[in-house]
Amino acid sequence: QVQLVESGGGLVQPGGSLRLSCAASGVTFSAYDMNWYRQAPEKERELVAAVSTGGGSTYYLDSVKGRFTISRANTENTVYLQMNSLEPEDTARYYCNARRTLLGRTYNYWGKGTLVTVSS
């Protein structure tokens, strides 16, 4: 059974930092691209950051470039999202996503999310 469990969310003041973690089990972690999405109230879910299987390639949403850093530890089956200089607009539920395509079939798994609230 595949499980993705996010942690590290919470309430933080503007300008503060948080580090999100996502622990994976039930999958060959190193074979999956790992992604962080977020969804704010009444908004669509958006891709925030992505990291390739080996960690050598990353993607960031324009609004988080220079503030967020995605990384992964394949030996620990964990992906991280370091979030600095947080802004109220970053308030959302953050979801971990694991995705791979193998022989034409896409495998796509989601965690339940962790809530990040940026407010003074």
Q: What is the dihedral of CA 1, 57, 48, 7, to 10 degrees?
A: 40
Residue 20 is predicted with a pLDDT of 98
DSSP type of residue 111: -
**What's the rounded Cα separation, in Å, for the pair 10 and 18?**
8
CB atoms within 10 A of CB 22: 25
Mean pLDDT of residues grouped by 10 in the chain (120 residues)?
96 98 96 98 96 96 98 97 98 98 96 98
